[in-house]
Amino acid sequence: MTTFRHFYVKSTKGVTDAKKINLKDIPGTSGRLDIIARSINAAFWLSNNIRRNVVFHTILHGMPDPPVYIRFEGEKMRKISPDERSIILFILKALERTRENEVESTPGVFVSRKNFEKFIEENRDKKIYLLMEDGKPMKSINFKNERDYLFILGDNLDLSEEEKQIAIEAGATPVSIGKTSYLTSHCIVVINWYLDMLEREVE
């Protein structure tokens, strides 16, 4: 049985109008969607392949028209390369096609309007982990491989207290990869590496 790894990264200021984003200045014009692009890179890419058992979720909360929910499914993604510019291009295509109800803007990329509460409600079937510096040490967690995992992370502005509370009420376990505060994308690399290592141990 394949256990899927889901990652959610909040985009606190991610701009929700494709026309306002300049590909020559992604950090300056996109509300730091470069963080989301690097997180997507970290979630999916291996040296010569992409992880088909990964699903990446984000909600853009920036102006002018939030929230926009975007999901990347590794099983179906095609033609996306690991560089930030390519990933941002696919986010722009998703923004151009945003509807109330979900549409597949390009293969494996889905977009709709959804807030965090609804997102969590729809993903309660997963084993949820809330990444925070003062959570339980990752090595003390018994990753059982029974249910799909959902890891929730903040961007440079973190999650709000309300969002953390919503996740905890849905059964999330706070988990820490150490006392040092790392970049979101680096946390994702560590999680993928750690789960890879555990899976190799039981092979």
Ligand X SMILES: C[S@@+](CC[C@H](N)C(=O)[O-])C[C@H]1O[C@@H](n2cnc3c(N)ncnc32)[C@H](O)[C@@H]1O
Return residues touching ligand X (CB under 6 A). 131-133, 135, 153-154, 156-159, 176-178, 180-184, 187
H helix intervals, the chain: 26-29, 33-44, 84-96, 116-122, 161-169, 184-202
Q: Which is nearer to ligand X, 11 or 176 (CB)?
A: 176
In the structure encoding, which two tokens stand for residue 126, read together?
């997963």
In the structure encoding, which two tokens stand for residue 187, read together?
């946390």
Whole-angstrom distance, CA of residue 154 vs CA of residue 33? 13
Beta carbon of residue 119, minimum distance to ligand X (angstroms, whole number) = 16
Q: Which is nearer to ligand X, 89 or 183 (CB)?
A: 183
Say which amino acid occupies 123. N
Beta carbon of residue 155, minimum distance to ligand X (angstroms, whole number) = 6
Q: Are 61 and 13 in contact (CB under 8 A)?
A: yes
Question: Of 112, 158, 111, which is closest to residue 131 (Cα–Cα)?
Answer: 158
Q: Which is nearer to ligand X, 128 or 187 (CB)?
A: 187
Q: Which is nearer to ligand X, 91 or 191 (CB)?
A: 191
Within 10 angstroms of residue 140's Cβ, the number of other Cβ atoms is 8
Beta carbon of residue 26, minimum distance to ligand X (angstroms, whole number) = 18
Question: Of 79, 118, 87, which is closest to residue 102 (Cα–Cα)?
Answer: 118
Beta carbon of residue 166, minimum distance to ligand X (angstroms, whole number) = 14
Give the CB-nearest residue to ligand X: 154
Q: Which is nearer to ligand X, 54 or 132 (CB)?
A: 132
Q: Who's near 104: CB < 8 A, 6+ residues apart?
A: 110
Beta carbon of residue 156, minimum distance to ligand X (angstroms, whole number) = 5
Supply φ then ψ for residue 102, to 5 degrees.
-65, 135
Beta carbon of residue 75, minimum distance to ligand X (angstroms, whole number) = 25
Q: Which is nearer to ligand X, 92 or 177 (CB)?
A: 177
